[in-house]
Amino acid sequence: LQKSLNETFGADKYSAARKEVLTNMFSRPMQMALYFCTGVLEDETLFRHYALNVPFYTHFTSPIRRYADVIVHRLLSASLGASSPIRMEKEAIQRQADHCNDRKMASKRVQELSADLFFSIFVRVR
């Protein structure tokens, strides 16, 4: 897909803009990653990372960015024996994951609506 898109963009003065718009449009329908507590999900195929083709996958960033990453860091640290276990039931962890997913989805939706609004204004002005 990437090779095909690169050939489609062309090399004129609008090629970078076409690439930006089309990449954004093609990535919108892709399923977003979701936070979940592994102790709650029984189907281990849900742990799989489709694009990387690995059966078990976790991802986190710096714990100063998102609360979900703080939880992952704490759980990972406890599982490695570097800290004491966190005192949360798996259902409570899943509720936190659900809340983080809801906030992430709402943020993505606002971002998309904002882009649509500014694109509409741009088209109207031009």
Residues 73 and 47 in one domain: yes
Residues 90 and 68 in one domain: yes
pLDDT at 92: 93
Residues 68 and 25 in one domain: no
Mean pLDDT over 96-125 rounds to 89
pTM score over 0.75: no
Higher confidence at residue 101 or residue 8? 101
pLDDT in tens, 27-52: 666 667 788 888 888 888 778 777 77
Residues 60 and 9 in one domain: no
Mean pLDDT over 15-29 rounds to 74
Question: Residue 60: is its pLDDT beyond 80?
Answer: no
Q: Residue with structure tokens 């960033």?
A: 61
pLDDT in tens, 69-94: 888 888 889 999 999 988 889 999 99
Structural domain of 116: 34-125
Residues 71 and 54 in one domain: yes
pLDDT at 118: 87
Residues 79 and 118 in one domain: yes
Identify whether the C-beta of residue 29 lies closer than 8 Å to the C-beta of residue 1: no
Residues 26 and 38 in one domain: no
Identify whether the C-beta of residue 15 lies closer than 8 Å to the C-beta of residue 9: yes
pLDDT level of residue 116 (50, 70, 90 thresholds):
confident
Residues 15 and 75 in one domain: no
Instruction: Provide the CB-side half-sphere exposure for 55 (13 A, CA).
Output: 3
Residue type, 37: C
Which residues are CB-contacts of 115 (< 8 A; sequence separation ≥ 6)? Answer: 24
Residues 1 and 40 in one domain: no
Domain count, the chain: 2
